[in-house]
A and B are shown apart, each in its own frame.
Chain A
Amino acid sequence: MRNRMNRFNRLIIIATVLFVNIQLLSGYEIQKMCKKIFLNQDGTASVVMNVKFSTSENEGLLQLPMIFGNVHIDKANFDSNTKELDVKVVNNDVFNYVEIPFQFEGGNHHLKMDYTIKNYLDWKEAGPGEFNKYEFVTSVENTFLTTIDTFSMCTILPEGWNYHKIIGSAPKFKKKDPKPPYTLDQIDGRSCATITRTPMEYRDKVALEFIFKSTKKSYAIIFISVILIGLYLFFFRNLVENKKKSDVVNKDEINSNEENNNKGETDA
């Protein structure tokens, strides 16, 4: 066990040194990274990733953390250029990342990459629990030394589903915080929860643990309510019927009051 840990630590150190050098060589800074994770009914997730970065180099290798395995790159381009990029998903036994060679003038650039993650949401594992609730966690970690100035992750539920409750997050929502790090919104009629971390440094995580439910509600409650209202209005009609009956009620209350010999009641 101890040997394994030592091996793991060595790997981390090697990887760290390696990426420090790569970063120095490539010389890029990531200002903003946004991942929109569209959860699909079939359990796959379609991810749209937008990265704003700046580089002083005209040519190099852009490397970005890729926490998910089983990824298929659908399309990727720089600065809305139609030319498809040659994206390579690399696994170095410790973590995944993507490598994208670039060749353009130094300055600010924008990468848009769409990819699909297979078997991302296991519906059977997620639920249904009590009240037909499903529970899931989306999580991303910065496995690179490069600091991402602002990172946001938006998890979009399948159509017909909504967030019941956010039960955990990274960064954590503390009682004293003015507002939670996440917000609930809608994208194309689908419910989404966006969580942001500013900045996202090495080993920082962005995660959202949530419960979600179908938006369908049982309308049987309407029928039950109508019956209850009808019964109430019928059996308590003496409250508004006429003065005499109302007086009878009041007299009963007064008599009961006298019997109880009440002297006071606390205020609430």
Chain B
Amino acid sequence: MDVSKINFDTNLNVIPKRPKSKGENRLKYIGFPLGLILFLILYLMPTPVGLSMEGQVAIAAFAAALTWWITEPFPTYATSLLLMAILTFFNGWAEEKVLGVFGLEVIWLNILAFILSSTLVKSQLAKRFALWIGIKFGHSSMTIMGAFILLQLFLAPFIPATTARTVMVLPVMLVIAQIYGSTSDNKNNFGVNLFMQNLQGISIFSSGFITGSTCNIVAAAFIFEMGGRRVYYSEWMIAMLPITIIVMAISWWLGPKFLFKVKPENQVPHVQGGFEVMRKMLKDMGKFSIDEAKASAVFLFVLFLWATDKYHMGWFGFEISAVMAALVGTVIVFLPKIGLLKWNDADIPWHVMIFSAGAYAGGLALFDSGAARFLVGKLFDAIGLNGSLNFWLVYIIIITFAMYAHLFFTSKTMRSIVMIPIIIAIAQQMGFDPVSLALPAAFTLTWVITLPTNAKPNLILYSTGQFSISDNLKYGLTVSTIGVVVMIIAGFTWFRWLGITP
């Protein structure tokens, strides 16, 4: 492989276009009329008893936006802007509140996290680490697969953008797969396992850290704003990181041993020269640069602040929130001489920020107007849930639903916005602590591992041709089910011990 062809840079602010299938084009064609008709029906029908007129508008606007997000007659960020406009025009939520969403903590944290992740790319620290881990552990199939899982575990707390993580590691993965005889034209089970485990690692480890994904931050914001309890970075990490490690360890062992058995000849490197490519790349990078040292120092400092949030009050007399810790880190990386980033180097996907702001506005309008509570009440009536139901039965239903919901709803952030307020309302209505149901459900939001269409990293990895849709479905459903079982066991034990479940 030619070293010059391997590109580690990212360009997150430019949206890649993917050719649409015939079915997707049909969906797109009917999506706009469908959403608009749905809006008209829900808006013009007599206001249901028990719902305010504001709530009716919020439901109608959100239903239309949901239809458009799924069918994509317009880009998702344009739908978000349209949702904000509809909410304002039809008085579903006050204009100042709709516009104020962009100033919420969740949006700021996203922007700052993307600026910080840009320092990793610019300093080439991520590239060096990926190459080093590949060379160090690439001599047997199980160790290299394990090494990539560990790499994903390392990257998850630093880089919230799962696609960025995918793009950084992908060139190294392609080289390693080639070394073990797996190419897009001639794939073998080593390639399937390596790519599927990375796909799972990217998604599952994101649930180990509150900053691992936008949807986690959104969920935590909902839990704080609606459930009245702040979830700390350390709390989230202590609760969920062990579970992600257990599940990924099971997946690492289960895949090559049972699901996609790796033939003995593929358990050792095929092309020895492949490592030379990586060694050359690493050698070309030279010694650990000052920029890399600066990036490491800033990241470790921010991570330290995130991980010790509970102790700030005692140490400093004030609390440094996750967003303020990221802000301090961002200030450092932008400082002349000390820092290493200029504004043009900051790779911020503004379309994701706009999408998140609109989706967040829609979700908050549903809650603020009482519409979410109304819908939950109707859902209760429909499925016969009532206050006498046992907590654990509700817990199992919610965890199972939350885990498999990614099959139907592509966007993690959207699921977070739709599901978490409803789960909080369910808990409140049934007299349970909202955190005991909403937090475990939030832990499963990033587990988008069953189909290539579930998440953009999945699509990127699928585009390499190293695994098929049926491979993804088989491996993904198995690991999702393991995830449900582990989460249920954790609910009875680990979460209970931590005081999350009663």
Query: Which A residues are closer than 8 A to B by beta carbons?
Result: 131, 133, 162-166, 174-180, 183-186, 213, 215, 217, 219, 221-222, 225, 228-229, 232-233, 236-237, 239-240, 243, 246, 249-251, 253-254, 256-257, 260-268
Contact = CB atoms under 8 A, between A and B. Distances in A.
Main secondary structure of the interface of A (DSSP, over half): mixed
Q: 8 closest A-B pairs (Cβ-Cβ)?
A: A262-B16, A250-B19, A178-B428, A264-B167, A176-B228, A239-B29, A257-B17, A253-B17
Contacts of A249: 20, 25
A163 B11 contact: no
Nearest to A255: B17
B28 interface: yes
Interface stretch (B135-143, B178-186, B349-357): B349-357
A167 to B, nearest CB: 10
Given A164-B53, A266-B12, 8 more contacts: A162-B53, A185-B50, A236-B28, A246-B20, A257-B17, A262-B17, A263-B9, A263-B167
Contacts of B226: 175
Contact of A184 (B28, B49, B228, B456): B49
A179 to B, nearest CB: 6
Given A164-B54, A246-B25, A266 B46 contact: no
Contact of B352 (A177, A184, A237, A266): A266
B274 interface: no
Given A179-B373, A268-B214, A243 B33 contact: no
Contact of B17 (A133, A179, A180, A256): A256
A268 B412 contact: yes
Nearest to B456: A267
20 contacts: A165-B52, A165-B54, A166-B370, A176-B228, A179-B429, A225-B39, A225-B40, A240-B25, A250-B20, A262-B17, A264-B167, A265-B15, A265-B349, A266-B162, A266-B352, A266-B456, A267-B162, A267-B448, A268-B214, A268-B411
A175 B223 CA distance: 10
Given A263-B167, A264-B12, A266-B161, A225 B36 contact: yes
Given A176-B228, A266-B162, A185 B412 contact: no
A264 B164 contact: yes
Contact of A228 (B18, B26, B36, B355): B36
A178 B166 contact: no
Contacts of B18: 253, 257
Contacts of A253: 17-20
B32 interface: yes
Given A239-B26, A253-B19, A264-B460, A185 B49 contact: yes
A262 B228 contact: no
B464 interface: no
A265 B428 contact: no
A238 to B, nearest CB: 9
A164 B32 contact: no
A162 B56 CA distance: 12
B14 interface: yes
A212 to B, nearest CB: 8
Contact of A163 (B7, B16, B37, B53): B53
B52 A262 contact: no
B91 A131 contact: yes
B14 A260 contact: yes
B369 interface: yes
A257 B11 CA distance: 12
Contact of A267 (B20, B52, B412): B412
B314 to A, nearest CB: 26
Contact of B16 (A176, A177, A179, A257): A257
A262 B14 contact: yes
A239 B28 contact: yes
Nearest to A217: B44
B76 A268 contact: yes
Contacts of A251: 19
B51 A184 contact: yes
Contacts of B355: 268
B225 interface: yes
Contacts of B107: none
A221 B26 contact: no
B428 to A, nearest CB: 4
Given A219-B44, A253-B19, A264 B91 contact: no
B12 to A, nearest CB: 5
B456 A254 contact: no
Contact of A264 (B11, B54, B73, B114): B11
Contacts of B9: 263
A222 B40 CA distance: 7
Interface in B127-168: 161-164, 166-167
Nearest to A219: B44
Contacts of B428: 177-179
A173 B10 CA distance: 47
Most A CB within 10 A of own CB, among B11, B39, B162, B413:
B11
Contacts of B225: 175
Given A229-B32, A268-B352, A176 B411 contact: no
Interface in B25-69: 25-26, 28-29, 32-33, 36-37, 39-40, 43-44, 46-47, 49-54
Contacts of A229: 32-33, 36-37
B227 interface: yes
Nearest to A133: B91
Given A178-B431, A229-B33, A257-B16, A264 B47 contact: no
A29 B355 CA distance: 58
Nearest to B411: A268
Contacts of B457: 267
Contacts of B221: none
A228 B373 CA distance: 33
A268 B445 CA distance: 12
A133 B94 CA distance: 13
Nearest to B50: A184
B337 interface: no
